[in-house]
């Protein structure tokens, strides 16, 4: 049975669910798992309602730095703090397929993107500008919730994107994020870190979303994957979420038999099987 699972971020924005489902249906038409997850994430990167690609969050200093990664059994490609490209996930795929490296960061990632033919692109949107200005006003007034508080996550993070697929006997995973508003330039979250925000091997694929620092501390994706080897996908997701207590987190996971999308917040997601 072929399957694809998408998420639109561990956030309380259920209105995004229809968009995620639409993009899952489009991506599921691709012939390979890698093509499907990359297409799914690309579609969400192009939608300014998600915090990835166009519509990425603006950092404290006013810059936009994006992370993305793709993974298949035995290989990986990622970009960290890439700027001024439209689709970081496409660049991450090309790092895997067309470079001798696994990860490129900062200016090096941008230079690689230009050499691969990706033109300069401005991902800023008026919605994100207004969000940053509102955040700075609240910060100055002492109105920002604690970093790990669910209300902080709902308002200032959220809406990153990811996909996992099992098609024609092959697994693949992809993820992309515009980071968070209240971070220093150069901050890296869990998304492009193998075993934390993404993991894929011969028995399944996992993608995480939530408070990146906590996901990294727990190497959440690879541990969830390992748990899937001796329990159901759903039980493995539930067990990992329990470890986070009230810290916002969500997972999509898949193996040869089942798929799940779970979060301790309202995570827009879609699961399609055939």
Which residues form the catalytic set?
A: 160
Beta strands 75-82 and 103-105, pairing class: parallel
| DSSP state for residue 245 in the 8-state scheme | T
Name the CA radius of gyration of the chain, rounded. Answer: 17
State the Cα angle at 37 between 182 and 257, rounded to 5°: 115
Concatenated DSSP letters of 258-269: -EEEEESS---E
Q: Give the CA count within 13 Å in the CB-facing half-sphere of 201.
A: 12
Place of tokens 């979250």: 189
On whether the CB atoms of residues 31 and 167 are closer than 8 A, the answer is yes
């Amino acid at each position: 049975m072929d399957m694809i699972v998408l998420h639109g971020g561990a956030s309380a924005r259920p209105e995004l669910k229809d968009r995620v489902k639409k993009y899952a249906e489009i991506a599921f038409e691709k012939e390979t798992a890698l093509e499907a997850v990359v297409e799914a994430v690309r579609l969400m990167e192009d939608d300014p309602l998600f915090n990835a690609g166009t519509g990425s969050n603006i950092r404290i200093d006013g810059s936009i730095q994006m992370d993305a990664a793709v993974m298949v059994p035995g290989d990986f490609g990622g970009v960290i703090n890439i700027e001024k490209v439209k689709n970081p996930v496409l660049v991450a795929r090309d790092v895997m397929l067309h470079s001798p490296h696994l990860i490129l960061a900062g200016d090096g990632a941008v230079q690689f993107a230009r050499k691969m033919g990706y033109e300069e692109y401005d991902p800023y949107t008026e919605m994100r500008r207004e969000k940053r200005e509102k955040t700075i006003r609240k910060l100055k007034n002492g109105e920002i919730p604690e970093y790990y508080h669910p209300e902080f996550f709902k308002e200032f993070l959220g809406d990153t994107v990811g996909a996992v697929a099992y098609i024609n006997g092959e697994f693949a995973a992809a993820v992309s994020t515009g980071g968070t508003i209240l971070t220093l330039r150069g901050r890296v979250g869990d998304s492009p870190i193998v075993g934390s925000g993404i993991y894929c091997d011969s028995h399944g694929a996992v993608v995480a979303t939530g408070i990146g620092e906590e996901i990294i501390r727990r190497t959440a994706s690879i541990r969830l994957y390992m748990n899937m080897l001796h329990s159901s996908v759903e039980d493995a997701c539930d067990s990992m979420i329990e470890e986070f207590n009230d810290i916002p987190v969500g997972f999509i996971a898949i193996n040869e038999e089942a798929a799940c999308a779970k979060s301790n917040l309202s995570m827009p997601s879609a699961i399609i099987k055939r």
